Each structure stands twice: as structure tokens, then as C-alpha cells.
Amino acid sequence: MNWYAFRNTSTATLCPDKSLISIGVAGARSFKLHPISCPPDTSGNVKAFRVEVSVSGWRGRMGHFALLGVGWHSWLFREEMRAILGEAEVLHPRIVSCKIEERTLGRLSGSALLDEVLVLGGSYELDGSSADYGRIFSEIGDWAINSMGTGSFAVRTRKIGELPISLSSRAFERSIGRHISKEGRIVDLESPENEIVVIIAGSNDIDSHPEPYAFTGTTIVWGIKEVDWEKEDFSGRSPTDRPYFKPVSLDPRQARLLISLSNKPGRDLNTIIDPFCGTGGIAIEGCLQDIEVLASDLDSRMVEGSISNLKWLGREGTVVKHDASDIFGLWGERKGCSFVFDPPYGRSSWRSDDSIEVFLSVLKEAKKIDSKGVVSTMLPAGPEALTTVSLGDAVVMGKPWSELVSDIESVGWIVHLLCPVRVHRSLVRVIAVFYPSD
Ligand SMILES: C[S@@+](CC[C@H](N)C(=O)[O-])C[C@H]1O[C@@H](n2cnc3c(N)ncnc32)[C@H](O)[C@@H]1O
């Protein structure tokens, strides 16, 4: 027997077969069913069940959200948010804010580098020692009182970046909490129905990646945790957990990131094409987001391996043995395609000298398949690629970048994004997104 538990205070009615027949609250936007074990009903005559329904979601400033990145590569986090949402205002290198439509909130659940979503209350730039903390605490408290749903609450702070030691998280939590509880609201630190989050954000974290947005100072951003957004859980499907593993296997978060970056506001992403699928790292992340995946590889062991990795996750994609230089012959003309791949280089290449040739022929084929498509890829580069935001003349795929970029442009693509990622001391990968040049 399934019983259901709902959060918060409003009511709903279930049929005897446990399907939901009505929700007794006008503002309920969504609800979640959590099967729990309960003592069975003893009367045997129950026709309907009263249950509680969550009314979480669009409170306060409707539709304005603050999005916090996981802390790894804030530049790429911002690019990922822009690709998924369009324009976003940067409040801090790791925090962006934007207005989000309801359906887009769901799309954010596929994100690789998003850590937390808040219904935005506001933000405040601290002015060194002269900050009037009393005023800040009551402003945040007043906003929370007016914006949060019914039920209990807790105030939680998050500190990110370099901050003066004098800033105390506990002072924020206690003072704001006291201000709110004066209004008769109940504090529940264990499982609050409303979680007020205050992010105290200082200067950029020291990261081994270049960051075009230099930020110094301290910003405070506050909001209420959005419970309808769920962070992607990448655990249990790392390359070594899968039945078929090779050292070339792409990490799930990086594969997810490449897919996200291939979004273009205003364009529907229908199909992901990976012509170098290897063990299926990209195919897996595409299938898990219910996007059509067309994958191929020249090595039949890799094709079998990808198929078994997908089966292991209960998914099916189209995976075939084929030469990447002829993917137009394989897939024909299509719309809404993203070409997401990790091209062969060095040992994963069939002949060590043909990596660039194969790569450029894929770009040509991609243009024929979908002239409005997007390419999202990661290319091997030398350590010098990390020292500058613009790449300069770093060596990418064994060639100076200035030469490779001309090759890319000559086959009909322009570089939309170029961002180095450190793999280890001597290996850097450049994440690159190309748009059609016409
Ligand atoms: C870097 S690996 C891709 C790894 C993959 N992203 C994964 O998660 O396992 C490159 C792949 O390209 C394949 N490959 C090399 N040359 C190819 C070609 N001409 N056509 C198709 N596949 C090719 C190799 O067999 C190898 O599996």
C-alpha cells in the first residue's frame, strides 16, 4: 500500500486508489509524493484521505532567482547559466540573478555547476567597517517575514570567497532569526519549512583557472531556498563505476557541462550528436535528460561498451560504428542539433597525425547536418593556455591557437566561447563552443 506525505499546511484529497482528486489550496503550484510506510487504516471504510500539500515556490519577488555556482570554475558556471537561461546579471563571480519562467526552472535541474537556487530577496555591497549591520539584519528579516510561506523557518548562512575574519555567520543567523521570530514565527533548525539563506560572498576564491571577472569586496545576497529545484546527483555513475571503462571516459559533470553549453537561448535542443562516443560519457548524460542521442565511434568495442553502459542505467540511445568524417551520410539533415564531443587526440586517435583533419571534417559534416546547430567540445592544450583569458598563441591540438581558429572559421564556424580547464600539471583542456558563422 502506498501512503503519501506532503509538506506544509494546505490540504488535498486522495481517491481510495490513492490518485489525487483535488488540491485544497488556490496557490499550490506543485506537490511531491513521498511514499512512506504508515500503519494501515483499521476501519476499512475510508473513501478519501486528507493530506498536506506543499505550496512552496513562487513567493516573494515572483520569478527572480539567485543562482549559486559549485565553486569549481566560476567562469564556466556563469557561461552555463547564460547558455541555459539567456542573459543573467552577475552579482558575484559565483552568483548570478535572473528572472526565470517556470518551465526553465526544470531545465536548470540538468545543470552541471549549479549548487543552490534561491528566490531572490536582495543583495547588498558591504562598505568595509562602516556597514550598518543592524539595518541589514532587519531588512533581510522584514523581507523574509513578508515573503516566506507559512510554517517554521531557519536562517542559514554560506560564506564563499575570501572574507574578513570579523564577519560572523552566527551573528547573521541569530540576529535575523530573532527579528523574524518576534513576529511569532517558529524556528526549526532540523527541518524548517522555509530556509532563509544569506550568502556572504568575498573576493574571488583562489582557483587554478583564469577568471575574467575580478571581484574584490564583500557582497551579501539573500533569499529563500527554492525547494522545487533539485541538484543533480552525479554519484554512482563515475566512469569507473560503469560496466565499461576506458581511461578516455569523460567524467559525468564535464559531459553534462558540454551539453549545457550547447544550449542557445531561443533554440530548442532536440538531438545530441557525438561522433566520437567512446565509452558513452556524453550519450549517458544526454539520455538521462531525455534528449535524443545519436552516437557513433569507429571502434566497435567502444560502440558495444557505450551500449552496455547505457543499458546499465536503463537507457537506450542510438549507438553505431561509423567514421566521424562521414556523419552526414549517417544521420542526414536535421534541426535542433548540438554536436557535443571529445575528439580523439594522441592515443585515442587512429593515426596520431590525423586528429586535426578528423576534427575539421566533423565540423564540415556538422554544418551539413544542421546549418543552425551548435558545437560544444573540449580540445587538448598545453599548460600555457591557463595563463591568459584569451588563449594567445597557446598550443591547442598540437597547433598554435591562431592557426587552428583560422581552420575552424574556414569550415563555417565562429568561436562563441573558449575557456581553459586544468586537467593536471601538464594537460589543459579548452572548452570551446562554436556557432555557425552565417
Ligand atoms: C577521447 S575519446 C572519446 C571519449 C568519450 N567522450 C567517452 O566518454 O568515453 C575519442 C574516441 O574517438 C574515437 N575515434 C577516433 N578516430 C575516429 C574516427 N575517425 N571516427 C570515429 N571515431 C573515432 C576513438 O575510438 C575514441 O573512442
Q: Which atom of ligand 1 is nearest to the CA of 249?
A: 9
Query: Residue 350 Cα, ligand 1 centroid: separation in angstroms?
Result: 9
Q: Does residue 162 come out as left (phi exceeding 0), alpha (psi in the -120 to 50 range) or beta?
A: beta
Q: Cell numbers 591562431 correspond to what residue?
A: 402
pTM for the whole thing? 0.84
CATH code linked to domain 239-436:
3.40.50.150
Query: Residue 68 Cα, ligand 1 centroid: separation in angstroms?
Result: 34
Query: Residue 352 Cα, ligand 1 centroid: separation in angstroms?
Result: 13
Q: What is the pLDDT of residue 169?
A: 93
Query: Residue 382 Cα, ligand 1 centroid: separation in angstroms?
Result: 20
Residue 187: CB atoms within 10 A of its CB come to: 13
Q: What is the pLDDT of residue 310?
A: 98
One-letter amino acid at 109 equals S
Choose the residue to mutate in 237, 245, 276, 302 for probing ligand 1, maximizing ligand atoms within 8 Å of C-beta: 276
Determine if ligand 1 sits within 6 Å of the CB of residue 359. Answer: no
CATH architecture group of domain 59-225: 2-Layer Sandwich (3.30)
Query: Residue 280 Cα, ligand 1 centroid: separation in angstroms?
Result: 10
Q: Which residue ranges make up each domain of the chain?
A: 9-55, 59-225, 239-436
100 near 86, Cβ under 8 Å? Answer: no
Whole-angstrom distance, CA of residue 372 vs CA of residue 366? 10
Residues 6+ apart with CB under 8 A from 160: 68, 71, 92, 94, 199, 200, 201, 202, 205
Determine if ligand 1 sits within 6 Å of the CB of residue 375. Answer: no
Query: Residue 269 Cα, ligand 1 centroid: separation in angstroms?
Result: 23
141 near 187, Cβ under 8 Å? Answer: no
Residues of the chain with pLDDT under 70: 1-62, 102-103, 128-129, 206, 347-353
Whole-angstrom distance, CA of residue 128 vs CA of residue 163? 11
Determine if ligand 1 sits within 6 Å of the CB of residue 342. Answer: yes
Q: What is the pLDDT of residue 2?
A: 35
Q: What is the pLDDT of residue 346?
A: 73
Determine if ligand 1 sits within 6 Å of the CB of residue 108. Answer: no
